[in-house]
């Protein structure tokens, strides 16, 4: 007998996160994620040709779109998406760009470490899922990782100011998921830096 589907944010009986199937978008959201993911994969090949960089982008960009949508709705970045994607990107970079593999690895580990320490020191600000997404992004972007993070923090700053202007000081206690900003920053850095 199949277990009942969990509601967004609901934790199953053993105290773990909801299963991936409960987090995945459905209906119109799934269609939008699919169209955006395919469009970004095609754009990766259109911009970078039949190259290793394009292949990495064809994996990275659709994954980031999916993660952004999941984080917006459920406020988490599931390991079942982040970790296999990070492994696949690491293998692609190692296979196609072995000379720069360690640059990508160190970028991923550095961003993971920075976000992890930030999440531990400032509980409630970033999550460990953001740190794991940082690993994924660093593995894919290498030296362009810092640009992605700067774009993400700038976007978050603009969103926070907009919320404060719109809702006043009472909005200070609102939280914003960082995953969509991180995904947007990484996609922009992938294509434009």
Residue 154 lies in a domain: yes
More confident residue, 17 or 45: 45
Residue 10 lies in a domain: no
Q: What is the mean pLDDT of the chain?
A: 88
21-35, 57-71, 81-95: which has the minimum mean pLDDT?
A: 21-35
Q: Which of 107, 112, 92 is nearest to 141 (CA)?
A: 107
**Predicted confidence (pLDDT) at residue 16 exceeds the cutoff of 70:** no
Total tally of structural domains belonging to the chain: 1
CB 188 within 8 A of CB 47: no
| Full DSSP string of 10-62 | ---TTS-PPPHHHHS--HHHHHHHHHHHHHHHHHHHHHH-SSHHHHHHHHHHH
Q: What pLDDT does 98 receive?
A: 85
- How much of the chain is helix, strand and coil, in % rounded to 5? 80, 0, 20
Report the predicted TM-score, pTM, of the whole model to 2 decimal places.
0.86
Residue 17 lies in a domain: no
**Predicted confidence (pLDDT) at residue 2 exceeds the cutoff of 70:** no
Residue 7 lies in a domain: no
Residue 51 lies in a domain: yes
The whole domain housing 180 covers 23-192
Residue 22, both tokens: 């409960």
Q: What pLDDT does 150 receive?
A: 95
Residue 1 lies in a domain: no
Mind listing the pLDDT tens digit for each residue in 130-161? Answer: 999 999 999 999 999 999 999 999 999 998 88
Q: Residue 122 to residues 77, 117, 125: CA-CA distances in angstroms?
A: 18, 8, 6
Residue 143 lies in a domain: yes
Residue 115 lies in a domain: yes
């Amino acid at each position: 007998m199949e277990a009942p589907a969990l509601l967004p944010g609901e934790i199953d009986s053993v105290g773990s996160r909801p299963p991936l199937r409960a987090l995945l978008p459905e209906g119109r959201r799934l269609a939008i994620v699919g169209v955006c993911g395919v469009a970004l994969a095609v754009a990766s090949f259109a911009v970078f040709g039949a190259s290793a960089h394009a292949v990495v982008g064809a994996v990275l960009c659709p994954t980031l779109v999916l993660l952004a949508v999941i984080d917006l709705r459920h406020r988490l970045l599931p390991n079942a998406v982040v970790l296999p994607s990070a492994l696949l990107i690491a293998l692609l970079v190692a296979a196609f760009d072995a000379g720069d593999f360690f640059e990508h690895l160190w970028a991923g580990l550095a961003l993971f470490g920075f976000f992890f320490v930030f999440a531990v020191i400032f509980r409630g600000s970033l999550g460990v899922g953001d740190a794991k997404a940082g690993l994924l992004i660093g593995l894919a972007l290498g030296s362009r990782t810092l640009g992605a993070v700067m774009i993400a923090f700038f976007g978050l700053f603009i969103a926070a100011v907009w919320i404060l202007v719109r809702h006043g000081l009472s909005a200070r206690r609102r939280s914003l998921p960082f995953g969509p900003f991180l995904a947007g920053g990484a996609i922009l850095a992938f294509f434009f830096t």
